[in-house]
Amino acid sequence: MKFENSILKGLDSQLGGLLAEASVEEDFTGKAGQSAIFRLPGLGSKRIGLIGLGSEPPSLAAYRGLGEALATTAKAAQARATAVFLASSEGLSAESKLNTVSAIVSGKCLNFIPCLMLVVCTFPVHDTSYLCGEMSVTGTILGVHEDNRFKSESKRPLLQFVDIVGLGTGLDLEKKLKFVEDTCSGIIFGRELVNAPANVLTPGVLAEEASKIASMYSDVLSAKILNVEQCKELKMGSYLAVGAASANPPHFIHMCYKPSGPVKAKLGLVGKGLTFDSGGYNIKTGPGCSIELMKFDMGGSAAVLGAAKAIGQIKPPGVEANLGHVQVHFIVAACENMISGTGMRPGDIVTASNGKRIELVNPEMQVNNTDAEGRLTLADALVYACNQGVEKIIDLATLTGACVVALGPSIAGVFTPYDALAKEVFSASEATGEKLWRMPLEESYWDSMKSGVADMVNTGGRQGGSITAALFLKQFVDEKVQWMHIDMAGPVWNEKKRSATGFGVSTLVEWVLKNSTS
């Protein structure tokens, strides 16, 4: 095998052809996701690794995948520090270089030369170009992070330093990496909220976590926690019905980011906050019900609170810059859906805070009705958000299994009647690499949601279940407010890793920033 890439040629020449020889033995072709680690002397490092990005021009999502592969490879090699040599196209703009670096790594620049290096070359094998330059950064945070809070014995990751060679240096890079580090902090916070079991993360504890964030960044964030009595005063009958059976009372969370200057735009982020969902009297049973995983039914709230944490950090104290004059409301109606004599029953009628009455029954009896509880909590949360005077709302929820059936485990469904809002959010998701797909809001499907004795039922039939769920939420949004619903039931959880993903945080942060500069 002969390398056409000039950097690989140079490395191979310095190693007396051993790199090419080892690549042939390992059948390394550079296809995406392929990796090979060699113990080769002569470069001052213990190992040399090759990680393939494929023959097509890599996307930012591919570079993010590289960051995780880098962490995995370094862990297997027990490396304390790594260096990444990136073979990529000449003529990349300064912004493209910054985006590429931030996609691969997270951390802040350090003037540090690692004493133990794993050199990882990422390249399309036949790419003949290479970018030069040096920078030093700490951590591939998301790839290295492990949630070991509930393990009696755990090892700290060895990897501490990552060198990216060839993508520049300077203040702009430091600022970009600081932003990435802050965003990753929010993602990790969101992951750990979802990973926490329901006996640890109750509605009250979730509210405490929100209050802690507000206290940490009190110059820009505030938190108000409403108890049951205060929610009753606001006539949140739909939300309170869901939490009525639990020994852990509901807590309604309202955080707010306020800029120091005049407010020119108001945004609302609403997250479903079911810290556990038993299904209620329509208890989750049978294969595929995943009742043991229903701690992740607060994944929407984790995304919202993770975004709040990141935004609190991105806006440093005393500096009026990044977030302009945008006000952001972070809202979570936290509760548990349990079973007791005080719980809601199939066939009950509850009244939301906008006066609309909801019958807890499905005409076709194909979908459990007390198990369609998330939308009941979101109904009052959306009304509350509109009452704050917001102009745009995004709600995020692990709402329907139907969306997972439609889009699989990696893609979230997007529902909105507003094309401009969809364009904004999809632009944000393209920058973050989180996968979204716009789904139809078919108004004719609303016929299946009509009740004979109330304004609506809370579930339709199995067909189009994620669409009717979105149509239900639409009934609780002011017509003057641009609204989007994101059903993230699939990508909230990584089944292979048996761990939360932190999905939604980075896209929300990116969207808020885009609104602050528009």
Q: CA–CA separation, 90 vs 173, rounded Å?
A: 19
Q: Hey, CA dihedral for 209, 212, 216, 219, is it positive or negative?
A: positive
Helix, strand, coil share (%) of the chain residues, nearest 5: 35, 20, 45
Sequence-distant (6+) residues with CB within 8 A of 337 are 242, 243, 245, 246, 274, 276, 277, 278, 279, 280, 370, 371, 373
Q: CA–CA separation, 30 vs 236, rounded Å?
A: 57
Full 3-state SS string of 174-199: HHHHHHHHHHHHHHHHHHHHHHCCCC
According to DSSP, the β-strands at 134-138 and 161-165 are: antiparallel
Give the helix/strand (H/E) hosting 509: helix 505-517
For 437-471, the DSSP string reads EE----GGGGGGG--SSSSEES---STTHHHHHHH
* DSSP structural state of residue 43: S
Token pair recorded at residue 6: 């000039």
Task: Please choose, from the candidates 294, 469, 495, 323, the residue with its C-alpha nearest in 3D space to the C-alpha of residue 395.
Answer: 469
Q: CA–CA separation, 307 vs 504, rounded Å?
A: 8
- Beta-carbon count within 10 A of 474 CB: 18
Contact status, residue 479 vs residue 473, Cβ threshold 8 Å:
no
> Residue 181 is which amino acid?
E
Q: CA–CA separation, 386 vs 392, rounded Å?
A: 9
**Is 375 known to be catalytic?**
yes
> Residue 311 is which amino acid?
I
Q: Which of 284, 295, 315, 474 is catalytic?
A: 284
Sequence-distant (6+) residues with CB within 8 A of 286 are none
According to DSSP, the β-strands at 493-494 and 499-500 are: antiparallel
Token pair recorded at residue 24: 């042939």
Q: Which of 295, 375, 392, 474 is catalytic?
A: 375
Indicate left, alpha or beta for 107 from its phi (over 0: left) and psi (-120 to 50: alpha): left
**Is 97 known to be catalytic?**
no
Give the helix/strand (H/E) hosting 429: helix 419-432
Please identify every residue annotated as catalytic: 284, 375
